[in-house]
Every structure is written in structure tokens, then in C-alpha cells.
Structure 1
């Protein structure tokens, strides 16, 4: 095929195709040629120290890590070393304050039902109400991508004292379902109305057929 035909077939510009053909004829490969680039300003031991510091003190900013370790280079250098180790900056996971009794009760609930089969869970619906805002200005911190719910990466919170949006929703093994906004306090009469007018008809249609 000609370069024009290859360009039309692949959508690659003809000048790029000519360049690749020339490189293949001269070098026998299309691998990226080595680039000079600027040499690293930190040694391997310093890179390891940056990672270790961030994991031990995840709330420490990269600027502070650089100063504490007296690194040569900018603050961006410290951030790049962390990114190379798959450590990124995140907002802490938020969880309500749980007492030992709360934790024990939740664990007991989970153990009670963890042995149930898939058939059991296909007939289960979870429903809850109320989504609350969190306080602004949550601190960023360093962690591995899969470590969100590790103990040191969770920020305990009480009531935020901010705006609360009154919502009610439900979900099942089929996925998230209806989500509606409620007015005022969700008292028992309103709960019954929602279940009869919203939850039950949709559940019959989407999840659990009659009877």
C-alpha cells in the first residue's frame, strides 16, 4: 500500500507514516528513541524516604515532606516521587463515630446474614433516608489507591451542622432504584405512604414480582 492509502486506512497523517517507514528501514524497530532529559535530582534512598514518610504521616503535605527530608528539588519533585509509588492525594473517607457497642452490633448483623444464598438476597431491599453535607475544608492526605478505608485514612465525624438534604432511596441486588425528595421530618405516616406509593409498586415491577 502507498503512504496515502495507509493514511486513509488508519487515520494517521502521511508525514507520520513516512517517518515511521524511514525509522523502520534504518533501525529495524519503531521503539521510542532514548531521550536525554534532565537527570533525577534525588537518589534512590531519598525516594524511598519520601514514600515512607507519606505512608507513616499521611496528613503531611508534600511541601513539609520535602523540608523535613531536605530534598534537592521542588515540591513537585516530592509529589512526583509519591505518584511513581502509586500514592496519590485524596480527601479522607468520612464515617460516623461508632462506639464499641455499635461495632459489635454491626459485626453481629453481618455474621448473621453472610451465610445466606444468592436466592435470599434477591428478595432483600435496603432502604434509607437523609444525606447530610460534610464540613468544608476537609484536609487532603496521601494514601495508596486501594487503602481508602484503612483506619489511619478515615476521618471520624459527628453531625456537620451544615445543610441536610432530605432524601429517601432504596436499592437491591438489581442496583440503585428510586430516589425521592421528602419534606420536613420523615415521620412514620410519611414512611408508610412512601412505601405504599413508591417502594412497593416499583419493587413489584423491578425486583420482587407478585406475590
Structure 2
């Protein structure tokens, strides 16, 4: 659908309502294109129309670089790191424009025999340690956790990518 089609149909003496139904747009849209053609004599889309972007192309590239290097980062932390004045949703929109979407990470595999043997070896090595030592022990292959937030962990990645 473009302005030329609307003005051509208008030139064939079709009403705004008939043109709107034919093209599947609102009557208001048809009226605006016809008014634009009557005022300027053309139906070209004006570049730069609309709200200005809150980020520059260099900032967009910096946002993409952060996400591509650190998949687990969040939009607010990216905004804070780059010192941007836009909202976190704008940052997420920039991710989406690079075909990056927030997904829940894949499930971790269960412990293998080798992992359990390594754990046992470690435990036997430090068996004499007091109970307070063992309260802080978390094996890196057992649990994913966050010490700063209580939200679901998200990973930014492209579709069908692991």
C-alpha cells in the first residue's frame, strides 16, 4: 500500500471509505494521503518523520557488542555501563533489531560419574575442615545461582542457537 495507489483510486472517483475497504486501511489514512497529495503534489514518504532515536549508530553497535560478548547481561546493566539516557526497553528493542531475544538457558546435565568422583576426592581431601567451611561450599557444576537478583536468569541469543 502506498500513496500513489490511494491517489490513483481517488482519481477514479472512489470514496475514501471504498478505498479504505479495498486496501484494508483506515479512512483516516486515506484522507491523510489524499491531503498530502493535494498540498504537495506528491506522495513520497518523508525521511526523518517520526520520533528521533535515543541512540546513535555507534551506541547501537556498542549495545550489540556487549550482548554478543556477554549473553547473560541485562538491559538495565547495559544502559548503566554505556551511560545511556534511554529506557531499558529501548535497549531490548536494539537487541531485537539484531535478532537477539531473551531465552531461559538450557537445562544443565546431571552429574556424571567423573564429576561425582571429583567431588568425593575434594571432600576426602578437606574432610577435617569444620562445619562452617562446608556451609559455603558450592560446586561449580552443580548449581547456577545469582547473588544480586532473585529473577529468572535469561540469556540473549538468536533463535535456534544454544
Which structure: greater strand fraction?
1
Q: TM-score, normalised by structure 1?
A: 0.41
The aligned runs of 1:64-103 (5 Å cut-off) are 64-94=77-107, 96-97=109-110
Which structure: greater helix fraction?
2
Structure possessing the higher relative contact order (Cα contacts under 8 Å, 6 or more residues apart): 2
Residue deviations 1:71-95 (CA, integer Å, cap 9, x gap):
3433233223222222121111225
Structure 1 residues 11 and 81: CA distance shift in structure 2, 3 A: closer
Structure 1 residues 36 and 13: CA distance shift in structure 2, 3 A: closer
| 1:6 is aligned to 2:14 | no
Match 1:140 to one of 154, 158, 162:
154
Residues 20 and 30 in structure 1, CA contact (< 8 A), matched pair in contact too:
no
SS at structure 1 position matched to 2:107: strand
Rounded to whole Å, the distance in 1 between the matches of 2:111 and 2:41 is 65
Structure 1 residues 27 and 145: CA distance shift in structure 2, 3 A: farther
- CA RMSD in angstroms comes to 3.5
Q: TM-score, normalised by structure 2?
A: 0.51
Rounded to whole Å, the distance in 2 between the matches of 1:33 and 1:20 is 16
Unaligned runs of 5+ in 2: 1-12, 115-150
Aligned residue pairs, count: 113
Rounded to whole Å, the distance in 2 between the matches of 1:82 and 1:19 is 33
